[in-house]
Structure 1
């Protein structure tokens, strides 16, 4: 059984201050702690951001040969460490190693101004790792050189639009899906929740979802079907340089309020063809007065056996066009909007057919 929750997600980036500024100004995160030479961390700079239950740690090296610099050179800015909070970091580490995980750092206590933190780390997929972090109290910081900062310049807490990390979407090279899922089940105690074969025109992908026993940590693993034409999974793997986190999904309670607010702050969301909304109620059922709002904001809708969800994706803010973000509002739904993949494809096809007819 895994008691895991998310401690924080660490990004390796070219410039921690620039990355933190983007998430603060565009998404409304607050800076709650910083670390660098001034706090005894001589070789790197880290900035911890928070919103709701979400903690993002932006880290960049101050030397050209550190781990963050090497990661960025190979992959560009991206998710390097998904830190899992647990009540027993040593036990979690030992189980993972016994079932094939490679050790990155053995269990060790870290003395901090706010108490002792026990930490360990193992490989996960690609160049991404999992830290196991055991805290003495809920308010402790995740690193020995992080120091709390004055929050006077942060967005007000009551204006936060995002409340949780809903899931991680991970792209895997062909042939790695089954063994990756087996690793999460055996080494980390996760359970397989869903599996699906998704066909989109001449492209196809396999998808499996695993979830911690606590229900707080969810991964959607995606693998391309090499029998079909290359698609978005192949494009990510090529540009990123192997397996990695394609996107994070931020949970929001009111997506209709979050999208215009974040758009006004500089977040670029993907456009949805108008033809998508001509067919969406035929696929998911009546949306009532929400349909016009979704159409105006380009928000997608899907339904499963448990309920409805609304979702929208950002454009990638990175030069390689790899990592991006998702907003998701769940109204009972437990799946991840796979119906929208086909729905969007068909909408684009209808729009193209209309354009072709007009050109003739």
Structure 2
């Protein structure tokens, strides 16, 4: 007796929405520092919003014009950062049904305009999620959406963008101690994410516990961290952010060497990796050649691989926090030969690098 194969729903991280004090200023930062293009700008009675894009990576950036709008209210409670994480989906009704049946709070019911459907719900903490249905023909289709504000979505294919970034690989959420399991359960039950890798990092100074969530029918990945010590860098984020929030956004690209060199030339501050990391790397170099090793050390890039697939390299580096507070930072990631996972060696190296920056702040060192 033949069995019918059930088609998985599709979900991809489509866009990140930042709430800031001055949207035009941050538009210029993304354009000048990261090579984004300014796509659109809109102003209504209480909010100014900018859309910037580089390849398949999109940021909406909003700032308040009055004290009585959602952006202002967010900034009264949190420093600048991610207020909304949005997903492109291929069957909004089914995803919406699952979310609402699980008790998700509806912020904006399903709407449709120009053959595009969308709806918004509350996420974990003060985060919210908009789901946008597009026809899944090719990755180029995801470039066809523009969001001019909270209530209007327009369709306009964007072409000839000189792209560095091929997509948002993953977005990391930090939650309070004891909230990791409830947050995981919420994203599993409400949206259908599934658990993948689990990490627990402990140093002599602090620690964290992390669980990676993936969406089984798409590319969306959402690791969630909780602190395991009072002085953890995750706790520092929670204190500075006044609660749970997005810690970092990973931007994928095909040539991380060229991208990192460009960002360093533009003055984007990146993490510092100790020489001992590259000394150890030479001992376990795997398929890396001398030129690659030199490039990795020169540009301060982390690299990892799985023993059963040593030529599939996972290369990463990270900016320092982009806002004055020790909150949101960006990751640059390159998955050579479709490398999977998150690289436990890289994960620990990142934790230690951020921990060193935290210790500098605590000592008052610039």
Same fold (TM over 0.5): yes
Structure 2 counterpart SS, 1:198: strand
> Of 315, 324, 329, which residue of structure 1 is paired with 2:329?
324
Aligned equivalents of 1:229, 1:126: Cα separation in 2: 20
Could you say which residue in structure 2 is the equivalent of 1:219?
Answer: 222
1:26 matched to 2:61: no
> Of 14, 21, 29, which residue of structure 2 is paired with 1:14?
21
1:209 matched to 2:218: no
CA 76–214 in structure 1, closer or farther in 2 if over 3 Å, else same: same
Could you say which residue in structure 1 is the equivalent of 2:241?
Answer: 240
1:264 matched to 2:265: yes
Shift of 1:344: 6.4
Aligned equivalents of 1:148, 1:119: Cα separation in 2: 12
Taking the TM superposition and a 5 Å limit, the aligned residue runs for 1:1-360 are 1-36=8-43, 41-109=44-112, 111=113, 115-135=114-134, 138=141, 139-143=144-148, 157-158=161-162, 160-225=163-228, 228=229, 230-283=231-284, 285=286, 287-289=288-290, 290-304=292-306, 305-306=308-309, 307-331=312-336, 332-343=338-349
Aligned equivalents of 1:24, 1:93: Cα separation in 2: 35
Structure 1 counterpart SS, 2:146: coil
Shift of 1:85: 1.6
Aligned equivalents of 2:10, 2:30: Cα separation in 1: 29
Q: Is the 8 A contact 1:314 1:326 kept in 2?
A: yes
CA 218–136 in structure 1, closer or farther in 2 if over 3 Å, else same: closer
Aligned equivalents of 2:354, 2:11: Cα separation in 1: 40
Shift of 1:134: 2.4
Structure 1 counterpart SS, 2:348: helix
Aligned equivalents of 1:43, 1:129: Cα separation in 2: 19
Q: Is the 8 A contact 1:166 1:250 kept in 2?
A: yes
TM-score by length of 2: 0.84
Aligned equivalents of 1:345, 1:3: Cα separation in 2: 31
Q: Is the 8 A contact 1:273 1:348 kept in 2?
A: no
Shift of 1:90: 3.4
Shift of 1:184: 1.6
Q: Deviations along 1:66-91, whole A, 9 cap, x unmatched? A: 11112123221111111112233333
Deviates more, 1:95-104 or 1:24-33: 95-104
Q: Is the 8 A contact 2:9 2:218 kept in 1?
A: no
> Aligned pair count?
334
Q: Is the 8 A contact 1:167 1:248 kept in 2?
A: yes
Deviates more, 1:233-242 or 1:299-308: 299-308
Q: Is the 8 A contact 1:35 1:145 kept in 2?
A: no
Shift of 1:116: 4.3
Aligned equivalents of 1:146, 1:184: Cα separation in 2: 25
Q: Is the 8 A contact 2:145 2:155 kept in 1?
A: no
Q: Is the 8 A contact 2:90 2:135 kept in 1?
A: no
Q: Deviations along 1:313-346, whole A, 9 cap, x unmatched? A: 1011211121000101112431223313434678
